[in-house]
Amino acid sequence: MSKIVFITGATSGFGRAAARRFAADGWSLVLTGRRMERLQELQDDLGRQVPVHIAALDVRDAEAVQQVVAELPEGFRQVHALINNAGLALAPQAAQQVDLADWHTMIDTNIKGLVNVTHALLPTLIASGRGASIVNLGSVAGQWPYPGSHVYGASKAFVQQFSYNLRCDLQGTGVRVTDIAPGMAETEFTLVRTKGDQAASDRLYRGTEPLSAEDIAEQIFYVASLPEHININRLEVMPTRQAWSPFAVDRD
């Protein structure tokens, strides 16, 4: 029987590319996200290859998360890999210029949403046992500070530490946990961060060579399909043309 992967944020970017990557290897797919029409398109497409179950889900809604997991149909229940990918950045301005609501949205999605889905699926993943995986999408922003990252980066630092701490508690169950921390990748991420400013998104990626959604999907697939005795704890991936800057110094 094929393995089952449960992906959050499957309607765009890394999540959608990961759905295609797992389908290419014959996995059954549980695809979730808020935009039902995009999930439907994916089911119409990938459903020709592998079994696909779709569910409209806002990860911020803990009850809805529990319900989606409880109502997984026969053939999609014994989830083997959870890809905690749903997430977003908002408000690229300096912290002192940001609406509190935007901070709350990032915390509710990137932290509480990820925790909601993990909590709901832990018993299933433990039942799947040796070789099961939780792959969390962190970010380079969880490790390296930069202006305008404020709560976004802090939320991804949570993802890293939560991943490590989960590993401690899951020791002996055979369930693996990985924090994948991508750098600059061209998806709808910047369009969302700038609240729909396509020109700003295009400017950010122009003249360089960002990672693609497929690049990260390949890494997600890789860590979830390694031999059962291998756990990648953290995988930080940057485009070759991205690196760090010098410290900023305020001078007279």
Sheet hosting strand 133-137, strand order edge to edge: 52-56, 28-33, 4-7, 81-84, 133-137, 176-182, 234-237
Q: How far is the CB of 20 from ligand 8X3 (least distance, A)?
A: 21
Binding of residue 134 to ligand NDP (CB under 6 A): no
Q: How far is CA 125 from the centre of its chain?
A: 17
Q: Which of 3, 5, 15, 204 binds ligand NDP (CB under 6 A)?
A: 15
| Tokens standing for residue 164 | 């490590």
50 or 140: CB nearest ligand 8X3: 140
Q: Which of 30, 68, 109, 131 binds ligand NDP (CB under 6 A)?
A: 109
Among 152, 164, 205, 222, the one annotated catalytic: 152
How far apart are alpha carbons 179 and 161 in whole angstroms?
9
What stretch of H or E contains 185? Answer: strand 185-186
Q: Comparing C-alpha atoms, which of 75, 18, 13 is closest to residue 46?
A: 18
Is residue 167 within 8 A of residue 231, CB to CB? The reply is yes
Taking CB under 6 A as the criterion, which residues in 74-93 touch ligand NDP? 85-88
Which of ligand NDP, ligand 8X3, none does residue 15 bind to, with CB < 5 to 8 Å depending on kind?
Answer: ligand NDP
How far apart are alpha carbons 244 and 237 in whole angstroms?
13
Q: How far is the CB of 240 from ligand 8X3 (least distance, A)?
A: 15
Binding of residue 64 to ligand NDP (CB under 6 A): no
Q: How far is the CB of 42 from ligand NDP (least distance, A)?
A: 10
Task: Tell me whether residue 152 is one of the annotated catalytic residues.
Answer: yes
Q: In the bound complex, which residue of the shown chain has the CB atom lying closest to ligand NDP?
A: 13
Contacts of 95 (CB under 8 A, 6+ apart): 150, 151
28 or 85: CB nearest ligand NDP: 85
Active site residues: 152
* Interaction site with ligand NDP (CB under 6 A): 8-9, 11-15, 33-35, 57-60, 85-88, 109, 113, 137, 139, 182, 184-185, 187-189, 192
